[in-house]
Structure 1
């Protein structure tokens, strides 16, 4: 063997053990041995070495009954901490976690509409850290999920006029200065797609498109399990496309072309529902009532599906994905009925017969995707574990 190979082999085995512990949680020595394929003595030596380096710690015992209880081992979560943040025009939703993935605290705070949003943002992060008994200096990486897209050349946020105060400067760079650690700003729908690849319906899918169809309309395009971001970061910003209104019921929308996001705004969807005799305060209420309204409800949902498909068709024609996923609370409310109607309309508009299904990950999907992304970055930095290509790239440093 060449010089240095025993050390290289130890590093490979150490990374394999750390990865197994991160993926599976606390393990006994024998469980770890089976997962990484080392002998009993080699696994024991590995655990001793990692414990001396404070990389792993003893984490209780497993078993009982007549036999001896086995020692459990876990990664030392205190080695690094991350923040995952879902930024909206009205609020921030923050999770602070350690490198093992354990969430230490969750913090929700309102955001001002314009004005000094950066100060409010920094204060919210500080309060979240205080709840976790941490300081800004304890943060190793932050991922922020935001509407719009960051231009990789300038760091400026675009496609987000509904986020006043956040545009016109290097956003990741400014946040890096304020928080004292590296920051990635990623499109919110992209992070939902990341979470679908990790824990949702796209775990075994190579190429797919995820659509957030109503209110803050957007899309994420994944090719060979890599997010497509585009030259200016604007891939998937279908909100700004001009499309004809294909709904059969006339609501005064532009038949020759209107902004896709405007056709699918909550106001526009509610107006469409009213034209079908369904009264609701917002799009979510309209879809929920439509499902219980018989023929009139079905006709409204079919018209809504025509609007959704009018924008999705262009993406499907170019990308020819394996799957289209509908995400967001309105899509969840429409369920399989809405998916089937959108799929039927797509078959009328384009050649690919792409299945349309409901995204599996709901709730705080943006924040969950941000957390997985932040953990991937710090685990590469601390342990040398490879970052999946699907995750956001290493962050811009402040200039």
Structure 2
């Protein structure tokens, strides 16, 4: 099926919803169309509890070339709704690098987290609602040559009941609990070394500046790009200025830039995204001077207090760089939240078993990567093999 035919199918599924005996409907919204954007936005307000990672602006911004940001909008016919924002990606080669002859696709979600958002009407069981949603979604996926689906579960929200695929546990993520805690209790839930560093930065006269409008975005970008350079970060972490413009516009009033100032100069910065009662430490940056002085630790502690003042109950610090409990970044985050380790899972399902098996031929299944045909290790090992096509 060509991409044009696929999009015609998507548009058809939006105008002629799939219907069951209980009048449940599944619509697919394409934000490139004004009506699709409006319908997605309305469903987001209804279902998402201000979850930024399922907002059309966020997915449009995070879509890479060739990817289509879409949303599945499910109405069970009894007042409950489910919204699932995702990225539809073309599959161009198999695990051995051979070109795929006939178009097919898979689904992922952008960082940080993804999965279905829902509004549950009185009298509706959550598992029943989500089981029905996934049944409808899988049928749509099979009709549209979608091979697999993958998303990262939010460690605060936890798993979605009724998921038809596999859940895989990884090294934990860190969530600082703020609800009902005094300043002393928040400070006490940190390591001795962290508290010592905070006190040292306070004694040195480090100031904290809060920017709720993005007026000092240039200061943040200077620090952020310098930090990425110093750590030899991957290109995907060099977010362009337009990304921050999107955040400031689409989530105005819920984006805050916090800075630690030493002698009036920013040496550490943190970007806080508020989604209802959940706060996310979305990005951070620190100059070498800020690491030595402890300005970054003081900033993190003050960010907790600021978040609490905004009604945030859970402050998500995410995880480490590697999938290991001994990851140095993960251990540092735990020093700020000793009781904050949460279990973290990814969710994956295959919607076309035959095609998935074809695409994975030659893949080392022991590596555990999903989907196997996109395994980075396979991509490194398969240079020069792109000579034949995979039969469809």
Return the TM-score normalized by structure 1: 0.29
**Bigger strand fraction:** 2
- Computing the radius of gyration from Cα coordinates, the structure with the larger value is 1
Q: TM-score, normalised by structure 2?
A: 0.30
